[in-house]
Amino acid sequence: MMIGLGIIGLIYGNSALIWEPIRKTLPGRPVIIYLCAVIEIGTGIGLLLRPSVILACRVLFPFLLLWMALLKLPGLFLAPHVMVSWEAFGEIAATSAGGWCLFAAHAGAWEQWHLKFAIGESGIRAARLLLVAALPMIGLSHFVYHDLTASLVPKCMRFPLGWTYLTGAGSVAAAAGMLFGVYPRLAANLEAGMLWIITLLVWVPRVASMPRDQGDWTEFFISSAIATGTWVVADTYRSVPWLASGKAAHAVSPD
């Protein structure tokens, strides 16, 4: 999905919607946007090729953290009363959690020597907590912006407001399950599955009907990145029984 975001950046350049938080008065803004697009495409391809996985993780994880810290975190301080600030932060945080798991699982010798706290089991546990923090931000936005979210529900599905509240509550419940060790594997995988279903039902038809709409393509790739990040975190529970609870349910599968 990083490849798709990178392609959007290359095609639309300075007008790419995903980079709107970058001040238009910033010197070299177009260069920064194109550089970010190249990084996204490069890391996306790198993750697909076994020889370059470690390098791709070394670049992708810091890139996502900088994206979150420089473009999304300030919004929490500038407009903490606006839910969209929290939603935007939660979306990139969920994606970053997946990137962190990949980084922790594919750490090289340098990381094992200098960044022990961020790799292996400790890194994966921290990534899980990042996802736990992110999911309520996404879920609560369904309640705050219920009319807007309901308008995205496919017309063939009845009770759009009900689906809006159900999916929002599902994200909050998944975070609680992961945090307190109540069926965390089931909770994380159900959340990942739900996010993929939302991506397929909401955004695929939109990009198919309006293939030249930059906004829909951007939303599709962002939604896919969130779902992928959540799925990567969910996969770290694969050694845990589906209905495990308590301390044992927090076991880590790093590889």
* pTM of the model as a whole: 0.94
pLDDT in tens, the chain (255 residues): 799 999 999 998 876 678 777 887 888 888 999 999 999 999 999 999 999 999 999 999 999 999 999 999 999 999 999 999 999 999 999 999 999 999 999 988 788 888 888 999 999 999 999 999 999 999 999 999 999 999 999 999 999 999 999 999 999 999 999 999 999 999 999 999 999 999 999 999 999 999 989 999 999 999 999 999 999 999 999 999 999 998 888 888 766
Asked, for residue 18, whether it belongs to a domain, the answer is no
The tally of domains found in the chain comes to 1
Buried b (16+ CB within 10 A) or exposed e, 210-232: eeeeeebbbbbbbbbbbbbbbbb
Asked, for residue 165, whether it belongs to a domain, the answer is yes
Asked, for residue 122, whether it belongs to a domain, the answer is yes
Asked, for residue 33, whether it belongs to a domain, the answer is no
Rg of the chain, C-alpha, whole Å: 18
Range(s) of the domain holding residue 230? 76-250
Asked, for residue 55, whether it belongs to a domain, the answer is no
Asked, for residue 23, whether it belongs to a domain, the answer is no
